[in-house]
Chain A
Amino acid sequence: MKRILLAEDEEILRMLINDTLEDEDYQVDEAADGQEALGFLEQQQYELLIIDYMMPIYSGVEVIAKVRQSGKNMNVPILMLSAKSQLTEQEKAMAAGADYFMAKPFSPLDLLGKVREILHDKNTI
């Protein structure tokens, strides 16, 4: 079972993503803010990070920058979710070290397909 960290301050969206992924046998750890996400990242090795752009304490960009600097997850693929879909935000996320970008609102099935593609899982819905 592949382990994914989901960092998202909106509880409902966490529920949506978590339900979508867990139904497909992914193990999802949920963090409600940037600090909590960094706590998970220090302790656990993940195969994918799904991180929201705007979060309390540390923003998604800040979390990505910290992850890419050092630690056990520094080379893990990162998918950034953002309600800010402007080009500048996308560029900032990529510059910080994100590998993929998905704008809100998004289709949970598209997200699932993206996760599978990133993790090279053959099954598709």
Chain B
Amino acid sequence: MTKIQFNRKSLVRRYKYLMGIFIAAFLLLAGVLMYSFYELNEEYTSKNMELEKKELLVEELNQAFNDAFMNIRGYIAYGNPELKNTALQQETVIRELSTQLGEMADSDQDDEFRYQVDLFTEYYFVTTLPRSLADYESGNIEAVKETANGGATNRINSIKKKINDYRDEINKQIEENFQELTKIQTYVQVGFVLFVLVFLIILLRITRLMFSEIAKPLADFAFAADEIASGKDAVIEVDTAREDELGVLSVAFNRMIASLQDNEQNLLAQNEELQAQQDELQAQQIDLQEALETVKASEQKLNSRNELINKIANSLDKQEVLESAVMNMCSIIEAERGIISFIHNDSYASFGLSPEGVRQFRSNLANSGVIEKLQAQPNPFLTKRAAVQEEKGFHLTNMVSYDLFLPIFLTGEKLVAVMAFNRSDAPFDSRKMTEYEALAKNIGIALEKISLYEKSEEARRLNQDILDTIQEGVQLVNTKGEILQVNKNFCELFHCPDMLKQLAGCAWDEWIGLLNSSIVESEGFTEFMRKEITSHEKISSNDCHYIYKNINGQVFKVYCEGLFQGSTKLGTIFVHRNITKEFEVDRIKSEFVSTVSHELRTPLASILGFTELILTRELKPDRQKKYLSTIYNEAGRLTHLINNFLDIQRMESGQQGYELQKMELLPIINKVIDLQKVHADKHELIVEVLGGRDTVLGDEEKLEQALINVVHNAIKYSPEGGEVKLTVFEKEGNIHIEIQDEGLGIPPEAIDKVFEKFYRVDNSDRRSIGGTGLGLPIVKEIIQFHGGEIIVKSEYGKGSTFSISLPAYDTQNKFV
């Protein structure tokens, strides 16, 4: 078999090309066949239709002739003119059919047949029939018979026979046509089968080619690969001249096999070498394992040492250092148990010891001679002894126990603590005593550091406690504006008690913002602080102060003092002092002076003015009397004011004298009411006595003064008038006097202050009612001296009720 040579380098393209040609040829030939078959069919159908049409025309022609013959014969027989007309009309039909036949004629036979028809038509309808009809109609029946017998009948029969023959011929042509078609169809079918067979053969050829060129080499590849995979030798035999994919694959596959075989050889060699190395490594591993155990033990010790050094270097907690020291030392020196104990105080830490053992060690330490030995020769020492029962555990044989004692010295070689460690399985390594001693020294240094820290912390805490006990807020700021220290009171003043520690180191921007948030009009404060912090002049605190108010209305005075070391300024100390009370006292004093001035000047103006008028003008007697009366009353008012000032001064200095006697209150109350009626033209003064006793032990004049003050206030602070009602009753051994008015009332915020000296309710928004602010404090002083109490209830805008209670008189009354 000849191999296909095109597209040698690509199987895919080759088989694509082959299949393309195959399919194209198949489609082309199938198309030609289908078209031929279609044309054949069309030809047959057309020819058949032509013949059938001819046959139909012949049939109609035959019918027309028959109709003509029969109707003429009927006419001659029966004389019916309609039959004659019908027969004559057939001429036109016959001529028309003859014309159609002529148009369809395609052979000599057809032309001959038409000629015979036309010839007969001429003979019959033109020549013979008109004569016969004339004969008949003329009654010449014989002539008619003669015409018929003379040849007409024969010619009619002859034409009929020709028509039948021609029809038979057409039928015969139709039959032949069909036979021809059938024969050609058979040829076409046979040809198609042959065509399919040829293409099947070609397809088989292509498939065989594909099998031999692709499938077989692939199966060989698979087999070879399987063989190689199972470790056998395998060769792939493929035509070496092949340049297509399988050719390339086979070459590559063979190379791969060769490479694999080489690699296998190499691997086997390496494996042998590795085996040898593995044996060597196993031997080394055993050595390393042993070394690792040693390193791990060393690492453990180093870790313990590091932890010990780290803890004693970083921790300032004494107990933590002690515990770390004893635990890590046990690990480093491989002791089973150990203790570190101070000799002059209770500090200690232990590892592996029972509380009873610790107690025993500490109580025996002083008398065991260990301390004396360590003080005499400040080096560690070892002891060896028979193990005691508790140390033996489950061992029944005699055992030896080893103790190691290490001294802890502070600076100045003062022994402060002893460390003791014990092990029972093997002695301590005496070669490492220097190392143990060094560790003990480190522990001593750490303990000394802690001791110094504790002292420093104690000193710092003492300083802080001293600062915290100062009532003022103290703030130490360095020259950069950072806070170095504050006291507790400072933090409380600025609402930052939780920030006491955080404030130390706080930057200027941070703390000044915090302070400013609680200060009213903080710009001046900020400027003052900035100026004093940045100033390097030595200024006395007397010259350096600033007064500010916080958002709660409290007033502070901040003093400052520079903190100098030589001529170098280290910082500034600010002392924030709450001067709210002093400030308030100053304000009240100032207001008092103003009030007193006003209260005194008004009656003085009247007295002086009216006196001047009396002296300089000639006045009528009644006017003179009115002026003098006014002068008298104003002088009395002045006297009352001065008496008030004197009273308060005496009360404050404790020089107010009282003349106590048994007395009744109701007459005094009535007297007060009578006196006050003069000033109360708009008011209704009512006294209601509910019953009970009214006798007290008191100073009549002072109690009258107190009642006058309260009732006068009730009238004065009811400028629109209304009822002023005094209710008197006894309850639980006390005589109560309630003075109720319907006046202005007292604002809620002023209720608690009305009994304070110089305090005056600010009523300028309603009525500017004058006064010294001394009346009610004097009343309170008098009532309290008599062992009584005065309270006030008020509804702002609706009036006030002052309730005075005084102990009723009995023999048990005792007060000074």
Contact = CB atoms under 8 A, between A and B. Distances in A.
B604 interface: yes
Interface residues of B, number: 28
A19 B605 contact: no
Interface in A86-118: 86, 103-109
A86 B594 contact: yes
B769 A104 contact: no
Interface string B581-617: 0000000000000100111011011111110110011
A104 B767 contact: no
B770 interface: yes
Interface stretch (A37-45, A49-57, A63-71): A49-57
A72 interface: no
A56 B765 CA distance: 8
Contacts of A121: none
Interface in A14-47: 15-16, 19-20, 23
Contact of B630 (A12, A59, A125): A12
Interface residues of A, number: 26
A106 B604 CA distance: 9
Nearest to A89: B594
The 6 closest A-B pairs by CB, nearest first: A105-B605, A83-B601, A83-B598, A104-B605, A105-B604, A104-B601
B552 interface: no
Given A59-B768, A83-B599, 6 more contacts: A12-B630, A15-B630, A16-B610, A20-B609, A56-B768, A125-B616
Classify the interface of chain B: helix, strand, loop or mixed: helix
20 contacts: A9-B768, A10-B602, A10-B606, A12-B606, A15-B630, A16-B606, A16-B609, A20-B609, A20-B613, A23-B617, A83-B598, A83-B601, A83-B602, A84-B594, A105-B601, A105-B607, A105-B608, A106-B608, A106-B609, A109-B612
A123 to B, nearest CB: 15
B245 to A, nearest CB: 114
Contacts of B599: 83
Nearest to B630: A12
Given A57-B767, A83-B598, A84-B594, A13 B613 contact: no
Contacts of B607: 105
Q: Of residues B594, B601, B605, which shows the largest number of chain A Cβ atoms within 10 Å of its Cβ?
A: B605
B616 to A, nearest CB: 6
B764 interface: yes
B634 A12 contact: yes
A27 B767 CA distance: 28
Contacts of A57: 766-768
A55 B598 contact: no
Contacts of A109: 612, 616
Contacts of A105: 601, 604-609
A57 to B, nearest CB: 7
A13 B768 contact: no
B494 to A, nearest CB: 34
Nearest to A34: B768
Contacts of B608: 105-107
A107 B598 contact: no
A37 to B, nearest CB: 13
A86 B630 CA distance: 27
Nearest to A103: B601
Contact of B612 (A15, A55, A56, A107): A107
Interface in B301-328: none
Contacts of A106: 605, 608-609
A101 to B, nearest CB: 14
Nearest to A9: B768
B767 A56 contact: yes
Nearest to A86: B594
Q: Which of B602, B604, B769, B770 has the most CB of A within 10 A?
A: B602
B630 A54 contact: no
Contacts of B766: 56-57
A13 B609 contact: yes
A85 B596 CA distance: 12
Contact of B598 (A15, A59, A84): A84
Contacts of B610: 16
Contacts of B623: 19
A125 B608 CA distance: 18
Nearest to B610: A16
Interface string B748-774: 000000000000000010111110000
A20 to B, nearest CB: 7
Contacts of B719: 56
B768 A108 contact: no
Contact of B597 (A19, A23, A83): A83
Interface in B631-658: 633-634
A87 B610 CA distance: 27
Contacts of B597: 83-85
A54 B768 contact: yes
Nearest to A108: B609
A19 B767 contact: no
